[in-house]
Amino acid sequence: MEKQTTIKDIAIALNISTSTVSRALRDAPDVKAETKAAVKALSEKLDYQPNRLALSLLNRQTNTIGVIIPNLDYVLATMVKGIDEVALEAGYTVMVCQSDESYGREIVNTKRLLDSLVDGFIVSVSSETKIFEHIKKIQDKKIPLVLFDRIVNNIAAPKIRLDNIDGGIQATEHLIEQGYKKIAILAGPENLNISNKRMEGYLQTLKAHSLRTDKGHIIHCDFNQQYAYEATKELLASKNRPDAIFTISDRMAIGAMLAIKEKGLSMPHDIGLVGFNNEPIVSLVTPAISSVEMYAFEIGKATARAYIEMMSGAAGMSDQEIIIKPKLFIRASSKRR
């Protein structure tokens, strides 16, 4: 392996001190012009590369953002792309860790990123996370923090999220307009804010239309195709079988669709189905699945912009909340009229 050129190599070659080389490379005014020219010429000839870690320790800034996400599914990966695009343009490097929906792994990722000297954090918490001391420790260290998608309400930090209540309203309102009256919901984990907000929109809409809420039609399960498949089988086998299902993710919608087809029911005639996220797969299956678009790329970009504003010292960032509006895309799985 070829040895990397150091400041000491340049100093020996020019018979000057290493401190003079260092000052010359920084264009310090106390170094003669001819010395600066000789140092810069030799450093280019020898392909000298400064030690970025040493510089970052000197400047107390690495221009690196630590991003922690629950997983790298389509939606979160798209958000990370949005974060990375804006961060790259602003001169930042993004370091991504996924918790795999594990509270313990989220803590480990936080510590590793702190050890890596990131300038700040952008975090979306796992579905297991109920205690937030590791997040609060980031702020205790005066390190910038932005929360996105799955936010923590009791932490004062910029928050970028979808209007999940409105997404639940749009999906349920559409199903009611299409003539469905017994609408079930496959909700996510009970402790997860985004799940509860989407369900809140669902419940609000049923109440607004004077439709009875059947507790048996509300099923909490992980964001998982297999869980959704099993939950849908239970719903379809029940005495009070629903005539429509709203799932709070598209992975769950695919699982529900498999169970519906296995039962021999047709969509939208026998039963309607609406998902959430509007992932590419929902427009490719038969019938295509109606789904709520959450504009993941825009959420990612807005998150990175909020982080950069905070790093620049913009006022009023500590409690800023940016809310992105969703939009329902109606397809064959739920369209009766």
DSSP line for 230-261: HHHHHHHHSTT--SEEEESSHHHHHHHHHHHH
CA distance 274 to 282: 10
Residues linked to residue 328 through DSSP beta bridges, in sequence order: 292
Helix (H) or strand (E) run with residue 8 in it: helix 7-14
CA distance 210 to 72: 39
Q: 318, 332 in Cβ contact below 8 A?
A: no
C-alpha distances out from residue 17 to 11, 44, 46, 54, 73, Å? 6, 18, 18, 19, 53
Query: For residue 169, what are its two tokens?
Result: 């309203």
CATH of domain 164-294: 3.40.50.2300
**Start-end of H helices in 30-151:** 33-45, 52-59, 74-89, 103-115, 133-140
Query: Which part of the chain has CATH 3.40.50.2300?
Result: 63-161+296-324, 164-294
Q: What pLDDT does 1 receive? A: 43
Give which of 250, 272, 246, 274 is closest to 260, Cα–Cα.
272
CATH of domain 63-161+296-324: 3.40.50.2300
Q: What pLDDT does 24 receive? A: 86
Question: Tens-of-pLDDT digits for all 337 residues of the chain?
Answer: 456 788 888 989 999 988 788 788 878 788 899 999 999 899 888 887 765 555 554 555 778 999 999 999 999 999 999 999 999 999 999 999 999 999 999 999 999 999 888 999 999 999 999 999 999 999 998 899 999 999 988 899 999 999 999 999 999 999 999 999 999 999 998 888 999 999 999 999 999 999 998 999 999 988 889 999 999 999 999 999 999 999 999 999 999 999 999 999 999 999 999 999 999 999 999 999 999 999 999 999 999 999 999 888 765 567 789 999 999 999 999 999 8
Using DSSP's 3-state secondary structure scheme, residue 137 falls into helix
Q: What pLDDT does 226 receive? A: 96
CA distance 92 to 62: 8
CA distance 281 to 240: 30
Q: What pLDDT does 51 receive? A: 59
